[in-house]
Amino acid sequence: MLESLLGKWGYEVESASDGLEALQLLERVDAPPLAILDWMMPGLEGPQVCRRLREDSERRYVYVLLLTVRSQKGDLLRGLESGADDYLTKPFDEQELRARLSVGRRILDLQKNLIEAREELRFNATHDVLTGIVNRGVALHALQQEHARQIREGGSFGLILADIDHFKLVNDTYGHICGDEVLREVTRRMKGCVRPYDTVGRYGGEEFLIVVPSSEGLGALQLADRIRTAIEAAPVSTQSAQIKLTASFGVAASTSARPLTPDVLLRLADEALYRAKKQGRNRSEIGVSERNSLDPAEPGATPLKSGSR
């Protein structure tokens, strides 16, 4: 009878023959968000199913209406205390059931809207709205996390600072809307070069910070040069013009043989970026300490090459 009524009211119905089957159904990732549970069921009773559902606060919320012949006030309280959202006694009035289900749907819709609003606030608090990548604070936090991981486990990690060359000229010539298009496209090209677990963040203005786990100086330098090549490979198409771009990169690395703090890494990468700009832009340069430690004159060292125009 319930399946027939609910189908007539426009609900898509899944039914369970006992409490255990109901619990398994409601614990699924794609579980129905609204449930009508009989109090007395084989396996698990309705209140037991409610309690089990409410044990996991991370699970998607299910609005539960208990349906039972029990009509005493104490039963009502027990049912609600078990985690049920509403309670209806048999024999039930069809229109009352329909009205209570409508209330449940409204509550679920409100909850969905609140969750979406919370996620949007969280995203906006941790991401750059223009480019969609993480913001300065999150990128610096990723740097701190890599430093902490290195202290615990050893290994190496790299840091890259990237700056779009002559970006102010783009804004001055074509306007800030065009500049925004450029920033989004440069971000897309950067993300196409990095690994899924690398962190690409907007450091400020036209400057980006990339944290590169499990990488020594040479590997981070090679990654910077791949990104540099991807940026200059083709003009950026905007509504205003086809704009040729280049970028300059400063690299630093903290290795097991030469561990460095995040502050020192940032300073070295910033100095290397400044040097890349001074030497003609469209270059990838590495911090002085790391460059010296990989001097080609040293036995077993690998020469470092940076792109230039």
Rounded to 10 degrees, the C-alpha dihedral 119/125/126/129 comes to 90
Active site residue 153: no
Pairing label, strands 284-286, 207-213: unpaired
Altogether, the residues listed in the chain come to a count of: 309
**If phi over 0 gives left and psi between -120 and 50 gives alpha, with beta otherwise, what is residue 51?**
alpha
Other beta carbons within 10 angstroms of residue 225's beta carbon come to 19
SS (H, E, C) the chain: CHHHHHHHCCCCCCCCCCHHHHHHHHCCCCCCCEEEEECCCCCCCHHHHHHHHHCCCCCCCCEEEEEECCCCHHHHHHHHHCCCCEEEECCCCHHHHHHHHHHHHHHHHHHHHHHHHHHHHHHHHHECCCCCCECHHHHHHHHHHHHHHHHHHCCCEEEEEEEECCHHHHHHHHCHHHHHHHHHHHHHHHHCCCCCCCEEEEEECCEEEEEEECCCHHHHHHHHHHHHHHHHCCCEECCCCEECCCEEEEEEEECCCCCCCHHHHHHHHHHHHHHHHHCCCCCEEECHHHHHHCCCCCCCCCCCCCCCC
From the candidates 181, 185, 206, 290, which is the catalytic residue? 206
- Residues classed as catalytic: 206
